[in-house]
Amino acid sequence: MTRVEQVTEPCAQHGEGPVWHPAWRGLRWVDMLAGDVLTLRRDGSVQRAHVGSVVAALRPRRSGGAVLALERGFALADDSLTAVVPMEDLWSDTGVRMNDGGCDPQGRFYCGSMAYDEATGRGRLYRLDTSRNVTVVLSGVTISNGLAWSPDGRTAYYVDTPTQRIDAIEHTAGDFSRRRTLTHIDPALGAPDGLTVDAGGDVWVALWGGGAVHRYSPRGELLDVLNIPAPRVTSCTFGGPSCTDLYVTTSRQATDLTAHPESGALFVARGAGRGLPALTFDG
């Protein structure tokens, strides 16, 4: 059984979106509603950079720096996250915010939105092209989450959390088609949230309210369960020098902190599998 270790103190009110990139000297993730990007230093301490009122996701840029999803749109930043240049807001509705995203193998960045009150169908999934044009890829989404690609880049795995599904979507030149259900998760086990795909094509998904990460085969078979000592598990990614350590983010939102004081900490399962390098934004 893979051992799960606590890496940090509870440092995020709502930790999300972890990504490992060598040029950043390790792991970054977001404290979403605080608008902060967190960086895990080599000594185990956490560096915090404030980049906006909300920061939903980030990925490295091929040319250096980072691409960010802020509350209502995208932004570019330098490696130190001290110079953040927002793009034009994609909408004016203050009741909707960005929530989770990732890059495809061709260097485009995606992020999906949701209503603050989680109203049905008010979210969308947006694609930021390398030319910096923005396109709506999916609409009628409620809580857009967990976007990652198969090793061959032909399949995108996507979560709209209230559906309790991980969906597999054919991916060609930035467009999605032939959406199908990879697996349906029993609500008693938690709700699917952020996810990652390993080098063998297996899908690892965080379970909000389930205190676990599940690993599924490309055929939707449950292969493994990693129990996390915090109920609100939000996302996961592979990292470390050999990309074999699974890092897991958690949240303190709607949590009994007396029963679960570790909530909001970063966890790791060392040697859990073998991940893929972070995909970069090529704009």
Q: How does DSSP assign 29-93, residue by residue?
A: EEEGGGTEEEEE-TTS-EEEEE-SS-EEEEEEBTTSSEEEEESSSEEEE-TTS-SEEE---S---
Whether 193 is a known active-site residue: answer: yes
Q: What is the CA radius of gyration of the chain?
A: 17
What mean pLDDT do residues 58-85 have?
A: 97
Note the pTM of the prediction, 2 decimals.
Answer: 0.97
Q: What is the pLDDT of residue 175?
A: 86
The residue from 36, 100, 167, 193 that is catalytic is: 193
pLDDT at 269 over 90: yes
CA distances from 27 to 30, 239, 242 (A): 10, 7, 13
- 3-state DSSP assignment of residue 23: helix
Backbone angles phi, psi at 212, to 5 degrees: -160, 165
Q: What is the mean pLDDT of the chain?
A: 97
Residues 82-115 pLDDT 10s = 999 999 999 999 999 999 999 999 999 999 999 9
Look at the chain and count its residues: 283
Provide the pLDDT for residue 1: 67
Predicted confidence (pLDDT) per residue in 129-167, tens digit: 999 999 999 999 999 999 999 999 999 999 999 999 999
Instruction: Identify the pLDDT of residue 173.
Output: 84
Q: Taking residues 220-238, what's their average pLDDT?
A: 98
